[in-house]
Amino acid sequence: MRHRAYLAIVVFSLVAAAEASAQASTGAFDEGVRLMRLNRPAAAEKQFERAIASDERNGTYHLWLGRAIGQQAATASVLRQPFMARRIRSEFERAVALDPELIDARDGLIQFYLMAPAVMGGSEAKAREQQREIVRRSAYRGHLASANIGWAMRDTVATERALRAAVAAAPDSILPVLSLSQRQAAWGRTTAAFATLDEFLARNPRDIAMRFQVGRLAAVSGQELPRGERVLRELLAEPEWEPTNSRPARAAVHYRLGVVLEKSGRKPDAKVSYERALALDPQLKPAKDALTALR
């Protein structure tokens, strides 16, 4: 009986320790994601390292650590970048090795291979290899990956073809529509960019994210300014919504409205919109700069 009781205590202790370790890794990971959303990648990196220390074989943890390092690399010194590039690639590769179905990690590798110079491991061939692995798992994500490669290679035909295929594969998904309209605008095809947004809005007329994109495109291009103003004012009349990666904060709507009004020659009204944007988000640099220039 004593022997059985001892074994029970040992087993209970091991289970409790495992549960505590899992909770610690999960808590650190959640904190890291929160810090990334606050644009604090250096602090997030430490949390993801803590999560990995508790659970080294979790591919998602390695994926997010690679993301945190990558976000810092964009503004790092030339001396630090080669070291950081090796770490980014290593974390993404580790994530894929641990979880081959982790498409986000494969997508991260594609971005790395396309952006890094050859001496740091960049490779178009390796990017295309990862794209083929993605398409085996998800046709939709494979089309998006193909579009990213086409964009990096400055192949406008391949980029548009891939994005249209992604739209066809997931007609109600915002990402490929948004990407296609932004690419078309970058190519100087503003009319086509508006048409792309309108095709989506014909199916989803109340979508906040895409309506905002209409206003944003008007602000950036200087075209369809009356429509841009109307759409942005309609958004501001909507009840509060939760900002997401695609849905803007209300401060951003006020800022874009200010740009539309300024380009329409209504500088006093633009000033009011910029001030409202800054009242909601005092750190919104584009609004600060616009207001300074207006003054």
- pLDDT digit string, tens, across residues 148-198: 999 999 999 999 999 999 999 998 899 999 999 999 999 999 999 999 999
Residue type for 201, please? L
pTM for the predicted model, two decimal places: 0.76
Of 70, 69, 48, nearest to 59 (Cα)?
Answer: 48
- pLDDT digit string, tens, across residues 112-145: 999 888 888 888 999 999 999 999 999 999 999 9
Q: Environment class of residue 82 by beta-carbon count within 10 Å: exposed (0-12), middle (13-18) or buried (19+)?
A: middle
Note the pLDDT of residue 4.
Answer: 53
Q: In this structure, is the dihedral angle defined by the CA atoms of residues 102, 107, 112 and 114, taken in order, positive or negative? A: positive
Q: Environment class of residue 17 by beta-carbon count within 10 Å: exposed (0-12), middle (13-18) or buried (19+)?
A: exposed
Give percent of the chain above pLDDT 70: 92
- pLDDT digit string, tens, across residues 200-240: 999 999 999 999 999 999 999 999 999 999 999 999 999 98
Note the pLDDT of residue 243.
Answer: 87
Q: Environment class of residue 19 by beta-carbon count within 10 Å: exposed (0-12), middle (13-18) or buried (19+)?
A: exposed
Residue type for 139, please? A
Cα–Cα dist 238/55, whole Å: 44
- Copy the structure tokens of residue 152: 């990096």
Residue 122, helix vs strand vs coil = coil
Domains belonging to the chain, first-starting first, are 18-109 (1.25.40.10), 206-295 (1.25.40.10)
Residue with tokens 């503004």: 75
